[in-house]
Structure 1
Amino acid sequence: MAAAAVDATRSTTSSAGGGAGAYETRKAVEEYLQFHFGQPDEVMPYNVGPKAGLPMHVLARAPCCQAARPPAGEAGEATALDVGCAVGGASFALARAFPHVLGIDFSQHFVDAANTMKERGWMRYTAAEEGELTAERVAAVPEDVDRSRVRFQQARRALCWRGDACSLPAQLGPVDAVLAANLLCRLPEPTTFLARLPSLIKPGGVLVLVSPYSWLPAWTAREKWLGGFKDQARLLPSVWTADSLKQLVGDHFSLVEEREVPFVIREHRRKFQWGVSHAMVWRRK
């Protein structure tokens, strides 16, 4: 079946449509370059707007992610995996603590942009202002990041039969830490991804799951959702994703902490998506 056409002018903040093709447009790359690397006063120029979560790459500096830092004496070979890395903001931030970071994303456009950021340290992008008016800006990797520590690759269909994070290649891992930021509710088979994690992460390693739990049938079939519904068969009035994750992940991981992680995505000069993702830090038993 042919993939549905994607409106290349639609912002990634739109809940209309969906599917991986939404991230294979120039507009998506530009919005995510701004999301990951934009200057706070460019992303949110108004004092009345939220400042928390600017820019996205500070996620890996947040307290919820500090637990992922390799133990003293083990940092030399420690490897972190950023699944759903987009244009690489969190991958570069992880490189402050890890000498080896691999960012993986389904979108070839995102991976191409991330590799440009790795090679040059910067990339020009166009920010929407109003209607047809735009502003030219530059995304830049922070100067204190050693870009040579990071590499990026697309989730290739030759290795992953679905071509996404649901079926990571068997030869990948084990690694010391996995970050999956704003990924779970964009997977067609989230339980398949979760089932892969015990073999992907070393004993004592860290898993950081961050998600706003924005379940939509365009991304994940209703029967595959981890939460956000009522379970009449089990007479449960509400099924929440966080509770499901504790059941699905708890057999192999110990929950270290939970935090709220705000984020801001700018669509244009006067329209933004402000969200709060739920972060859970787990340690492999």
Structure 2
Amino acid sequence: MAQIFGIDHKMFAIGSLAITSSVAVYSTYKLISERRQRKKTVASENVYETQKLLNEYLVFHFGAPNEVLRYDFGPKDSLDFPKRCADLCLSHYKPQQGIPNRALDIGCAVGRTSFELARVINEVIGIDFSQKFVDACNALKESGEMKYWVLDEGALVTDLIARIDSDIDRSRTSFRQGDACNLPVSLGQFGCVFAGNLICRLPNPYDFLNRLPTLVARGGILVITSPYTWLEEYTPKNLWLGGYIDKNGRKVTGFDNLKKVLGPDFDLLEDKDMPFFIRETAHKNQWTVAHATVWRRK
């Protein structure tokens, strides 16, 4: 009887261990599966397709100074960044024979720079990877205005209206969804190309930069702005333009590689720092400084 009990006890112990091990394996598998699913969900969500970010960009582009910065203090020289970018482009681009009176705003977001360029340039094409942004651009082109809201605190919001200046001929603009790393040849050439805060958000910025000599007509103007915020979630580290130490122990900046890649085909005309201010809530905001470079196609 004792022997039988011993056998039964051993069998019970083995069975318990098997069940415990199975539960542990299942729990581990479930945990891993859930983590993988969360990663897939996060990866599949494009922040640039959310209503929240659309609203933040609408106020960034079209908000009046008191709508963006509600205080008497603060970096007021950082407001109207998209318009200041257009002004920088137009200070160097002058319509003249032999240079296409066309502009490309690549990474146009919700379109303020494109519309401002249309004050002078006959045809302006805005391209953005976000379909939601492009839809907003086309709605603004169609009606000249768009209602939206900005977040103040928690669930509190303020309703606003984005408006295009009535002096701008909106028919000169067109907008489409597209990939800056794979732009179609059918676009043709442009007298002015603007890439605003784009290159550090591309999976391969070299693909875009290498396309520029065929996009910008000879004598045409290229303007690139970037805060050089290189992040592996957007760009593999081996494809960063800057922000690393090379094999010789030298610090490499984004500007270093812009000059290296663009130098054979473009002359550098100007570089300057341009601050910008993005409103998130009434009390939480982003203040950033972009580096602007202006080039002329040889």
Q: TM-score, normalised by structure 1?
A: 0.87
Matching residue's letter, 2:188: G
Report how far residue 216 of structure 1 moved: 0.6
Match of 1:235 among 228, 242, 249: 249
Residue 145 to residue 4, structure 1, CA distance change in 2 (3 Å): farther
Match of 2:276 among 263, 272, 275: 263
**Where do 1:266-281 residues align within 5 Å?**
266-281=279-294
Match of 1:110 among 133, 139, 152: 133
1:182 is the counterpart of 2:207: no
Match of 2:93 among 68, 71, 78: 68
1:45 is the counterpart of 2:58: no
1:5 is the counterpart of 2:41: yes
Q: How many percent identity over aligned positions?
A: 47
| Partner Cα distance (1:196, 1:224) in 2 | 16
Match of 1:146 among 169, 174, 186: 169
Match of 2:222 among 187, 193, 207: 207
Residue 273 to residue 93, structure 1, CA distance change in 2 (3 Å): same
**Greater RCO (CA < 8 Å, at least 6 residues apart):** 1
**Where do 1:21-60 residues align within 5 Å?**
21-60=46-85
Larger radius of gyration: 2
Report how far residue 20 of structure 1 moved: 8.1
Residue 69 to residue 181, structure 1, CA distance change in 2 (3 Å): farther
The question of whether the paired residues in 1 share the 8 Å contact of 2:222 and 2:297 is answered with yes
The question of whether the paired residues in 2 share the 8 Å contact of 1:65 and 1:208 is answered with no
1:197 is the counterpart of 2:212: yes
Q: What do the CA deviations read for 1:190-214 (whole angstroms, capped 9, x no partner)?
A: 0010000001111001100111111
Q: What do the CA deviations read for 1:255-283 (whole angstroms, capped 9, x no partner)?
A: 01111111110000011101111110000
The question of whether the paired residues in 1 share the 8 Å contact of 2:90 and 2:117 is answered with no
The question of whether the paired residues in 2 share the 8 Å contact of 1:60 and 1:94 is answered with no
Q: TM-score, normalised by structure 2?
A: 0.83
Segments of structure 1 that go 5 or more residues without pairing to the other structure are: 7-17, 156-163
Report how far residue 220 of structure 1 moved: 0.6
Q: What do the CA deviations read for 1:135-181 (whole angstroms, capped 9, x no partner)?
A: 110011122211111000111xxxxxxxx201111222111110000
The question of whether the paired residues in 2 share the 8 Å contact of 1:210 and 1:278 is answered with yes
1:225 is the counterpart of 2:240: yes
Report how far residue 55 of structure 1 moved: 2.1
Matching residue's letter, 2:255: A
| Partner Cα distance (2:114, 2:161) in 1 | 19
Report how far residue 61 of structure 1 moved: 4.3
Partner SS, residue 52 of structure 1: helix
Q: What do the CA deviations read for 1:203-230 (whole angstroms, capped 9, x no partner)?
A: 0011001111111110111111000111
Alignment correspondent of 1:250: 263
Residue 196 to residue 267, structure 1, CA distance change in 2 (3 Å): same
Q: What do the CA deviations read for 1:44-102 (whole angstroms, capped 9, x no partner)?
A: 0112211113223322343465112323x678x60000000011010001111101000
RMSD (Å) for aligned C-alpha atoms: 2.0
Alignment correspondent of 1:83: 106
The question of whether the paired residues in 2 share the 8 Å contact of 1:19 and 1:218 is answered with no
Segments of structure 2 that go 5 or more residues without pairing to the other structure are: 1-35
The question of whether the paired residues in 2 share the 8 Å contact of 1:64 and 1:258 is answered with no
| Partner Cα distance (2:41, 2:81) in 1 | 28
Residue 221 to residue 32, structure 1, CA distance change in 2 (3 Å): same
1:171 is the counterpart of 2:191: no
Matching residue's letter, 1:152: F
| Partner Cα distance (1:45, 1:177) in 2 | 35
